[in-house]
Amino acid sequence: TGTTPLQYQMRLRIADAVMMLRSTEKCLADIAYETGFSDSNYFSSVFRRHCGMTPGEYRRQNIH
């Protein structure tokens, strides 16, 4: 994969979060917890680093 195990795990968590943001109306704290983050602020920070926007911004841009 060319990444560390931690980086790979984080990518999987973010991918799960992206799917949940697109397919559910769960609050961000619930999505953070369900994808393995114990702190929603840390989740938002990691999500922004990986996706270039906050989870809330991502959800707003991807509502169909």
Single pTM value for the model: 0.90
* Dist. CA 6–CA 54, nearest whole Å: 21
Contacts of 37 (CB under 8 A, 6+ apart): 13, 43, 46
Task: List the end-to-end C-alpha distance of the chain, in Å, as a whole number.
Answer: 32
Please check whether residue 63 is in contact with residue 55, taking contact to mean a CB–CB distance below 8 angstroms: no
**pLDDT single digits (tens) 1-58:** 689 999 999 999 999 999 999 999 999 999 999 999 999 999 999 999 999 999 999 9
The SS3 of residue 62 is coil
For the record, the structure tokens of 8 come out as 């790979």
Please check whether residue 34 is in contact with residue 20, taking contact to mean a CB–CB distance below 8 angstroms: yes
64 pLDDT more than 80: no
